[in-house]
Structure 1
Amino acid sequence: MSDKHLLIVEDDGAFAKTLRRSFERRGYVVEIAADQGAVATALAERTPDFAVVDLKLGATSGLACVQAIHAHDATTRIVVLTGYASIATAVEAIKLGATNYLAKPSNTDDIEAAFGQTDGAAAGNVDAPLTNRPTSIKTLEWEHIHQTLAANNFNISETARQLGMHRRTLARKLEKQTVK
């Protein structure tokens, strides 16, 4: 029996199965949870050594799952995957207990490297490149919109109300934003 237990929290069944197969080939015992309720059930049965959590689970945020996993066992190595990357959500994920934060698409190699298995401890990269590129107004706007959206559990109507814009305007802005 493997000593590497992995919990994948992902609502996209096909992607979750692909990750499962890939990690099982690497010797992990993998369990999949599609929502916060399934995470609670999985944690009641077994404490994972590692977790991969999608930031957006249907209409809810995966940040609550990160918090629950970290509260259950602070030594669990948690990597958040998202197609909605922003500085605000990355900071919140780390504050709630995530070890690392990766933008989609990320493969098994990226995720395993983010777990930091080689050093056994969370460590930053002192050689990370520093950039002089100023943040654009559009990027700042997108980060503010996404932060407000996440705070409202991805409720478009409430987010639009808080931002003082029409719901359809917000929906158009969200559709135009490309995630790299």
Structure 2
Amino acid sequence: MLSRAGTAMNDLTFTIRQETAADAEAIERLHERTFGPGRFARTAFRIREKVGHRIDLSFTARVGTLMVGSIWQCSITIGETPALFLGPVTIEPAFRGRGIGQELIRRSLEEATKLGHRLCVLVGDEPYYGKLGFKLIEKKRVTMQGPVDPARLLIYELEPGAFEGVAGVIRPDWNGIGVIG
């Protein structure tokens, strides 16, 4: 378990722990409150629904016993290269801006590195995720089936140089559960 205190202005102690099967209902309710029914139409959701998320790389954040955040990762390929797809990162609206999302991301990336993964992709805003080391992917180098703003397609190298020479379409990796790329 990992605990972090928030900023001096908003002191907050929260705990990060690996997701368990018992968390499923609370996470689904958190997703409903945060993203609403429109989440099912997003291209990123379409990829995740095909393979499910990896519970070994998914975490929750709690303030006391209240779940206030969640992060998922799932297995994908970029062309023929195995990778991870990060998201959604979901934070209860009243707890946003307190560092919980960043800590969930750090923890999930640390665990992915320990397990030998090399690349992680997400669809998000570069000003926020860039602070954590994500970089914008050059236009047309990597694509997704479905509408995605190329200015929001980001990559994180869990191993330096892992993205060199990688290009292609992002697809769900049905064989990637437990497979190290």
Fold-level similarity (TM above 0.5): no
- What TM-score bracket applies, with the shorter chain setting the length? under 0.3
Task: Name the TM-score, length of structure 2 as normaliser.
Answer: 0.27
The structure carrying a bigger helix percent of its residues is 1
Tell me: higher relative CO, structure 1 or 2? Use CA pairs within 8 A at least 6 residues apart.
Answer: 2
Of structures 1 and 2, the larger Rg is shown by 1
